[in-house]
Amino acid sequence: MYTKKSFSKAVSIVCKEVRIERRIRQEEMAEVLGISRKTLVQTEKGRRILSWTEAVCLATLFKDSPTLKDQLKDDPIKVISEIDYLPKNKERIVSKENYFWDDVIVKDSLALQQNIISKEYRIADKDSVQLYTSFDYDEILDVFRCEEKKISQTEREKELKNQ
């Protein structure tokens, strides 16, 4: 299981190989990641680790890269979804009234919603704690299913303890 830091380090290690594998110039890769070419060079030389957001960006955009999958030993999107990325005791509570969200899927204590203005998707629990956001429907659906499984598993464990 990865942490944000270990994930960022693992992705940084293969950043250059992923770029070469996709036949992308440094300038193009830097632009895609939102960093300077100089910063990318530092990362490729192992002198710098990608930030969490840069690593997630690279892993999401190049999720089909055999090099990246081999490095992470799993599907990059799945790995990202399993990382506990919210700081402890600093959950983002987003009131539904503050934004214009449409329910896409509601199951038990989870809701997959879409913002009617930005078209961004989010997963929120029954208390409106935002668990994950993305503009990619397939990605958010995968994360939603993982969260659903985690909740189901936790509920089953509670039932077994109560028996």
The tens place of each residue's pLDDT in the chain, 163 residues long, gives 788 899 999 999 999 999 999 999 999 999 999 999 999 999 999 999 999 889 999 999 999 999 999 999 999 988 888 886 555 544 444 444 545 678 899 988 889 998 877 788 998 887 778 888 888 999 999 989 888 888 777 777 777 777 7
- Provide the H-helix boundaries in the chain: 4-13, 15-21, 26-33, 37-44, 52-61, 66-72, 76-82, 137-162
- pTM tops 0.95: no
Domains in the chain and their CATH numbers?
4-82 (1.10.260.40), 96-162 (2.40.10)
Q: Single out the residue of 72, 60, 69, 85 nearest to residue 138, CA to CA.
A: 60
Measured at the CA of 14, the angle between CA 8 and CA 19, to 5 degrees, comes to 115
